[in-house]
Amino acid sequence: MKRLDDFRMQMGRHELVPIMVGGMGVDISSADLALETARLGGVGHISDAMIKTVTDRRYKTKYVKAKQALYKLNVELEDKSAVKFNLGHLAEATRLHVEATMTRKQGSGLVFINCMEKLTMNAPKETLKVRMSAALDAGIEGITLAAGLHLGSFALIEDHPRFRDAKLGIIVSSLRALQLFLKKNARLNRLPDYVVVEGPLAGGHLGFGMDWAQYDLATIVAEIMQWMKAEQLDIPVIPAGGIFTGTDAVRFMEMGAAGVQVATRFTVTKECGLPDDVKQEYFKADEDDIEVNQISPTGYPMRMIKSSPGIGDGIRPNCEAYGYLLDAQGKCAYITAYNREVAANPEARRIKVMDKTCLCTHMRNFDIWTCGQLTWRLKDTTLRDAEGHYQLLSAEHVFKDYQFSSDNQVLLPAQNA
C-alpha cells in the first residue's frame, strides 16, 4: 500500500513532501508551526489575520494600543467610518512578523502567508495591497489568497518586483470560482502557482452555504482537474478539508493531486498558537459538539465548537482597537446586531447577541474555537493521563504520521514521562 512519502509535490524548482499545513488565524498557525513544517520538507503557513495583534503579542509592539488611543472618542459611536488603519503601521507589523519568521527558517520546505480577502479593514483594496506587498518585501516565499474570490488581488501587486517570483495561490471551493478568477486575471498573463480546493469539511469560514453537507471534496477536485486537463492548464491542485490520515491523502494523490492541505490535526500540537487549555477542548469535542453557524459578520458560514465562549457574548464592538471586519463604509454586521440588542434591552447591564459575534475580539482572545468537521477524532490520535488530560503532540509527530502511515492508521505518541 502506498504512503504519502511515495509522492512529491513539485512547485517550480522546489520538490516538496506533499503536505501543506493551512494558515489558521489569529496566530493559530504560528511561526513555530510553519517553520517546523518547512524544516520537515513541506509547506507551512503563517496568517496575517489581525497582524497588529499578533506582533503586539509576539514582538511586544504597541500597534493596537496606539490605534485605540487615536480613536478613543469614537468608541460610543455606531458610525465607525472614521476608524482607519495606519497603512505604515500595517506594513511595519507585516514585515516584522514575516522577517522574524523567515530569519529562523531551516530545511528544504517553504513558508507562505495566508491572506484573507474578507479582512476588509475599512479600506479593502488599500489594506490588502499593503499586507501582500509588505509580506513580499520581507521575503515570504508564497501568498495563499483565502476567504473570498480575490478577483482583483493579483492586480494589486502586479507592479511588485516579486510578482512573478513568489508563489501565489488561491483557495476555491468550486470550479465556477476558479473559472471566475482565471477570467478576471487573464490580462495579467500570470496563472496561480497552485490552487487549494477546500471542501465542505474544512474548518473556519466555508466557501459553501448552509447546504454544505450536500457537497463532496473528491467530486469537486475531480471536476476541477478534468476541466484543467481539457483547458490544458498545468496548475498544481491541492485538496483540503477532512483529510485526516495519510491514507486519505494518498487517495487524492492517486487522483492526480499535487499535494494535500491539512490543519485540524495540527491544532493540538505544541507548536500551534492555541492556548493549551483550549487544545484540551478540541480533544474533548464529540461529533455533536461541532456546528456550522452564521454568526460571522463576514456573511460566510463558519464551523466551530458550539461551546465556544464567544458565541452569544454581547461584548461592545471593539473596532477602535481592531476593526478588521469593517467594510468600505465602516460597517460591520456585529455592530448592527449589538446596537439592536442594546436598544431592545435598555435596562440590561449585560446583553446577549446570538446571531452575530465580535469576531475580532473573540478570535484575538481564542474564544471562538473554529475547527474542522473531524475534530471529534482528535482524541483518538493521542494518549490520556490519569487526570483526564490529553497529551499534546509535536508537529513533527503529526507531519510524519501523515507522511509515513498506511492502511488508515494513526500513530499514537510515546507516553510522556
Q: What is the rounded average pLDDT of the residues 119-139?
A: 98
Mean pLDDT estimate for the chain: 97
* Res. 40 pLDDT band, cuts 50 70 90: very high
**Superfamily of the domain at 4-273+391-404:** Aldolase class I (3.20.20.70)
Encode pLDDT of 242-270 as tens digits: 999 999 999 999 999 999 999 999 999 99
Residue pair 200/170 in contact by the 8 Å Cβ criterion:
no
**pLDDT for the residue 1:** 87
Residue pair 198/207 in contact by the 8 Å Cβ criterion:
yes
d(CA 396, CA 398): 6
Q: What is the rounded average pLDDT of the residues 274-301?
A: 98
* Res. 406 pLDDT band, cuts 50 70 90: very high
Q: What is the rounded average pLDDT of the residues 74-97?
A: 97
The residue type at 112 = F
**pLDDT for the residue 194:** 98
Place of cell 498545468: 234
Give domain limits for the chain. 4-273+391-404
Encode pLDDT of 145-186 as tens digits: 999 989 999 999 999 999 999 999 999 999 999 999 999 999
Q: What is the rounded average pLDDT of the residues 297-323?
A: 97
Three-state SS for 273?
A: coil
Q: Containing H/E element for 47?
A: strand 43-47
Asked if residue 417 has pLDDT above 80, the reply is no
What's the DSSP call for residue 391? P
Contacts 24+ apart (CB under 8 A), 182-187: 182/233, 184/151, 184/152, 185/151, 185/154, 185/155
Q: What is the rounded average pLDDT of the residues 340-369?
A: 97
- Within 13 A of 11's CA, how many CA atoms are on the CB side? 30
d(CA 76, CA 62): 23
The residue type at 346 = P
Of 104, 110, 105, the C-alpha closest to 9 is 110
* Res. 237 pLDDT band, cuts 50 70 90: very high
d(CA 320, CA 314): 17
d(CA 259, CA 193): 13
Three-state SS for 194?
A: strand
**pLDDT for the residue 150:** 93
Encode pLDDT of 377-391 as tens digits: 999 999 999 999 999
